[in-house]
């Protein structure tokens, strides 16, 4: 029987082409089953796909679609078609937990919702009350679908989900009784996210194939073909690594680290940490681990995650070179731009669902995949399963996300066939926090003392007691000059942009006419400016004998391959101090470089509103106190393993209340951790209504997902700066009223590297120096208020250098 009910339409040569509802459901079922990363969920996702658009059999939906064909005006979402599929499933096993888990993705495939909302209503109950949304659907649906066959598939899927729930119960038995409910509900929520992810991806993919008249078979992600890819990459990688010189003790240890990583990659573990010093080849060693692990265990993807784009862009290029096939590496972050429209379309397609073999992305993108309410983020969730996931610089993980991150990693490594590697020179104690702790990770490498000593390139000196209340900006300037007299090349890192700028300006006056070359780096400068400045500094450090002083914020600490003879670091957490030390004597130019920790006065560097820095300083001061009393207990090194463990012990303990992601909502305090698990505060007020049953989805997925931000953007505005002629030309292009939307989007992407985030206060102070284009969506700062030396300026800049 031919299905005449409409799912989608397209115009082709003035002819309307129709995709039927049964064809679309069948295609989505096919793609869902083929592309699901977890074999035990595959039949379940296929079944969900078969039911997902059953609501399009409603007369009202067909009338709506016919209006579109006839050219009449309609409003997207004005008719409901996402309820009926869940209703049909409910008829097989009404009220069961398993049917709720299968129906939920159908209800939410056009936008995630709260399973239990703030007003105490259950999504499933509310949908099933709306009987008008299912009228005539059952009889029409089963005209084109074998009910007995679907019921048998449902029974099989229900058994699989029951088994999964049993495994979660068994896992929870090993957790403290006070946390069991939280863990189980959080993991159920993660499973729901995977099911929804597969459905969204398959639904969007089939719709796109129909609209573009493409084969859905081209959207199948073949796992078998990956084995050949991994083998080729591994062979090229080994050849690539063999080309590096091995004539020094350091290079021999780097080779040994790589060898251990590759050997461990073949083993059966799923959660690891790689703790090695800066300069030990951590990125390439972890890639070697990942390639061997993917090949040995049939993984679909390798995902490399870094906290900052500065690290990511550098390491993405290294990864492309090391695997020998740039085409299989997707670099996904906001700064990526493609000149050619075809390249952009291909990139957008791959970035939508992370279908590439190797994905290089930011922590923001990855954490949004885990927790954001956005469908485009949820769509990627399926493809982080059955993958090797490398988290680089894991110490930079935002504190408030720690507990949710820990549980997500436990879920991915314990139930999703993913292998997770946490990389850092200073590993945070994620497995030792009081609750929601990370499962114990295996160490890939343990260096002995002799090996560790070979990586010692600096001595960290505590100079925080040189002044009682801390250095003034002038005193810091004089200390820098004093060190520069002896060591000639000095990097100073402070905690605020204002302190960096003021210190730079002080030294510029003091050094006028002297032999010193001065530089400043901070996020007040646009990315292109910072990149140009870093390139200039690197060139001078490498090719000249000039005496160089650089004043910077934390922007220079991670992922920047640069080496000074001396580093001065304003008091910060030990992880930041170690990162700063990584910019000193990096290539062992001398026997040992000096790193000085100093303390700034409140007037020179006011960090009272920067909670992360304040808490890190407090923990570090406690470590410095212990070190001063008994340095031999720390092997006379402030960067020893004992010092790192003590620092994180103090730091994590002082922030344990924040790790659940605190929020205020509807006049009460809550946490995103609770909202994405048991949702206890709402559930406690309504559980009597549901007779105390615990067999309900309770998570506030949408509310929590909308509140989730990796990096808070409150009180910030992005401004484009007229840094050079290219930036000016791009801005002029945006001012053209006849520019197409596609051209506009391309220009905006290109302007990412000329964009600076400023506070709302600074935006107000700049007043008319900021204008707008694109109907106010893009803010532009006058070139008179931007300095190549220091970035955005509150006062007009006397001279602007073009180059």
Q: Is 407:438 a contact under the CB 8 Å cutoff?
A: no
Same structural domain, 465 and 503: yes
Same structural domain, 518 and 554: yes
Q: Is 311 inside a domain boundary? A: yes
Residue of 199, 195, 183, 198 whose CA lies nearest to 98: 195
Which residue, of 157, 188, 219, is where some domain finishes?
A: 219
Cα separation of 367 and 101, whole Å?
23
Q: Is 41 inside a domain boundary? A: yes
Pairing of strands 301-306, 271-275: unpaired
Cα separation of 655 and 95, whole Å?
41
**Residue 470 pLDDT:** 94
Same structural domain, 567 and 598: yes
Q: For the stretch 192-224, what's the b/e string if a residue is b when 16 or more beta carbons lie within 10 angstroms of its beta carbon?
A: bbbbbbbbbbbbbbbbebbeeeeebeebebebe
Q: Is 413:326 a contact under the CB 8 Å cutoff?
A: no
Same structural domain, 179 and 120: yes
Tokens for 666? 């509807």
Q: Is 595 inside a domain boundary? A: yes
Cα separation of 459 and 246, whole Å?
26
Query: Cα-flanking dihedrals φ and ψ of residue 13, to 5°?
Result: 55, 50
Degrees, nearest 5: CA angle 608-610-616: 95
Q: What CATH number corresponds to the domain at position 526?
A: 3.40.50.300
Q: What CATH number corresponds to the domain at position 79?
A: 1.10.3210
Q: Is 322 inside a domain boundary? A: yes
* Residue 333 region by backbone torsions, left for phi larger than 0, else alpha for psi between -120 and 50, else beta: beta
CB atoms within 10 A of CB 91: 12
Cα separation of 197 and 72, whole Å?
33
**Residue 74 pLDDT:** 78
Task: Tell me the average pLDDT of the chain.
Answer: 91
Same structural domain, 574 and 603: yes
**Residue 347 pLDDT:** 43
Tokens for 376? 């485009």
**Residue 714 pLDDT:** 62
**Residue 225 pLDDT:** 80
Same structural domain, 237 and 180: no
pLDDT digits (tens, 9 = 90+) for 141-184: 999 999 999 999 999 999 999 999 999 999 999 999 999 999 99
Low-confidence ranges of the chain (pLDDT < 70): 223-224, 333-351, 692-694, 713-715, 799-803
Chain centroid, CA 571 distance in Å: 28
Same structural domain, 190 and 124: yes
| Residue 781 β-bridge partners | 721, 770
**Residue 801 pLDDT:** 44
**Residue 245 pLDDT:** 78
pLDDT digits (tens, 9 = 90+) for 30-59: 999 999 999 999 999 999 999 999 999 999
Domain extent at residue 279: 224-447
Chain centroid, CA 248 distance in Å: 37
Indicate the helix (H) or strand (E) that contains 209: helix 180-211
Radius of gyration of the chain measured on its C-alpha atoms = 29
Q: Is 16 inside a domain boundary? A: yes
Q: How far is CA 376 from CA 302, 388, 767, in A?
A: 20, 22, 36
Q: Is 752 inside a domain boundary? A: yes
Q: Is 802 inside a domain boundary? A: no
Look at the chain and report how many structural domains it folds into.
5
Task: Using the structure block, give the residue that is written with the tokens 């082409």.
Answer: 17
CB atoms within 10 A of CB 631: 15
Tokens for 317? 């290029």
Same structural domain, 320 and 416: yes
Query: Cα-flanking dihedrals φ and ψ of residue 6, to 5°?
Result: -90, 130
Same structural domain, 380 and 232: yes
Which residue, of 615, 639, 654, is where some domain finishes?
A: 654
Task: Using the structure block, give the residue that is written with the tokens 């595959």.
Answer: 42
Q: Is 711 inside a domain boundary? A: no
Map residue 212 onto helix, strand or coil.
coil
Q: Is 579:639 a contact under the CB 8 Å cutoff?
A: no
pLDDT digits (tens, 9 = 90+) for 522-553: 999 999 999 999 999 999 999 999 999 999 99
Please count the CA atoms within 13 angstroms of the CA of 527 that sit on its side-chain side: 18
Same structural domain, 85 and 43: yes
Task: Using the structure block, give the residue that is written with the tokens 């009889």.
Answer: 139
Same structural domain, 700 and 616: no
Tokens for 744? 């506009």
Cα separation of 122 and 90, whole Å?
15
Which residue, of 219, 248, 275, is where some domain finishes?
A: 219
Same structural domain, 114 and 247: no
């Amino acid at each position: 029987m031919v299905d005449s009910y409409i799912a989608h339409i397209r115009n082709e040569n003035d002819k309307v082409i129709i995709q039927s509802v049964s064809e679309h459901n069948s295609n989505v079922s096919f793609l869902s089953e083929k592309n699901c990363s977890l074999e035990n969920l595959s039949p379940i996702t296929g079944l969900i796909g078969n039911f997902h658009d059953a609501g399009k059999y409603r007369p009202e939906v067909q009338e709506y679609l016919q209006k579109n064909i006839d050219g009449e005006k309609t409003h997207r979402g004005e008719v409901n078609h996402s309820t009926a599929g869940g209703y049909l499933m409910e008829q097989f096993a009404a009220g069961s937990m398993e049917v709720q888990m299968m129906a939920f993705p159908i209800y939410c495939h056009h936008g995630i919702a709260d399973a239990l909302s703030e007003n105490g209503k259950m999504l499933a109950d509310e949908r099933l009350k709306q009987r008008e949304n299912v009228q005539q659907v059952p009889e029409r649906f089963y005209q084109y679908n074998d009910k007995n066959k679907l019921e048998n598939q449902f029974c099989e899927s229900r058994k699989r989900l029951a088994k999964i729930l049993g495994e979660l119960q068994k896992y929870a038995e090993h957790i403290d009784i006070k946390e069991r409910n939280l863990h189980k509900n959080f993991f159920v929520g993660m499973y729901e996210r995977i099911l929804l992810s597969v459905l969204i991806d398959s639904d969007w993919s089939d719709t796109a194939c129909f609209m573009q008249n493409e084969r859905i078979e081209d959207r199948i992600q073949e796992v078998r073909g990956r084995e050949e890819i991994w083998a080729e990459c591994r062979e090229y990688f080994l050849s690539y690594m063999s080309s590096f010189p091995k004539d020094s003790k350091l290079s021999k240890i780097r080779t040994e680290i790589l060898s251990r990583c590759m050997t461990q990659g073949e083993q059966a573990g799923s959660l690891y940490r790689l703790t090695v010093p800066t300069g030990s080849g951590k990125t390439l060693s972890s890639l070697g681990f990942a390639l061997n692990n993917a090949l040995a265990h049939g993984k679909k993807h390798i995902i490399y995650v870094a906290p900052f784009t500065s690290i990511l862009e550098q390491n993405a290029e290294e990864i492309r070179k090391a695997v020998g096939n740039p085409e299989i590496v997707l670099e996904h972050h906001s700064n990526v731009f493609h000149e050619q429209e075809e390249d952009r379309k291909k990139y957008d397609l791959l970035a939508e669902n992370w279908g590439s073999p190797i994905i290089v992305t930011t922590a923001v993108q990855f954490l949004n995949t885990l927790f954001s309410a956005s469908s485009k983020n949820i769509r990627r969730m399926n493809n982080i399963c059955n993958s090797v996931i490398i988290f680089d610089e894991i110490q930079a993980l935002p504190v408030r996300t720690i507990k949710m991150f820990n549980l997500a990693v436990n879920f991915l490594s314990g139930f999703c066939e993913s292998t997770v590697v946490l990389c850092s020179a200073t590993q945070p104690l994620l497995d030792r926090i009081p609750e929601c702790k990370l499962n114990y990770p295996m160490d890939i490498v343990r260096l002995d003392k002799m090996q560790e000593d070979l990586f010692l390139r600096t001595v960290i000196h505590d100079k925080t007691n040189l002044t009682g209340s801390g250095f003034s900006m002038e005193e810091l300037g004089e200390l820098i000059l004093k060190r520069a007299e002896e060591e000639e090349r000095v990097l100073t890192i402070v905690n605020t942009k204002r302190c960096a700028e003021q210190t730079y300006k002080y030294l510029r006056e003091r050094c006028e006419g002297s032999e010193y070359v001065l530089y400043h780096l901070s996020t007040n400068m646009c990315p292109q400016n910072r990149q140009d400045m870093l390139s200039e500094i690197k060139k001078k450090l490498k090719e000249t004998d000039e005496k160089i002083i650089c004043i910077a914020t934390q922007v220079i600490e991670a992922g920047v391959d640069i080496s000074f003879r001396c580093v001065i670091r304003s008091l910060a957490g030990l992880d930041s101090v170690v990162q700063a030390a990584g910019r000193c004597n990096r290539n062992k130019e001398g026997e040992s470089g000096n790193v000085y920790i100093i303390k700034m006065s409140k007037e020179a560097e006011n960090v009272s509103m920067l909670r992360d820095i304040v808490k890190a300083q407090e923990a570090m001061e406690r470590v410095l106190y212990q070190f001063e009393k008994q340095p031999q207990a720390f092997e006379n090194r402030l960067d020893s393993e004992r010092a790192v463990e003590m620092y994180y012990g103090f730091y994590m303990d002082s922030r344990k209340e924040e790790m659940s992601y605190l929020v205020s909502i509807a006049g009460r305090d809550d946490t995103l951790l609770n909202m994405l698990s048991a949702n206890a505060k709402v559930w406690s007020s309504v559980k009597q209504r549901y007779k105390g049953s615990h067999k309900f989805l309770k998570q506030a997925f949408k509310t929590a997902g909308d509140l989730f931000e990796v990096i808070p953007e409150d009180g910030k505005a992005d401004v484009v700066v007229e840094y050079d002629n290219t930036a000016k030309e791009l801005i002029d292009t945006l001012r053209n009223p006849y520019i197409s939307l596609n051209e506009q989007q391309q220009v905006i992407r290109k302007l990412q590297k000329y964009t600076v985030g400023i506070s709302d206060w600074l935006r107000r102070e700049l007043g008319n120096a900021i204008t707008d284009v694109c109907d106010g969506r893009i803010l532009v700062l006058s070139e008179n208020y931007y300095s190549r030396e220091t970035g955005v300026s509150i006062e007009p800049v006397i001279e602007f250098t073009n180059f």
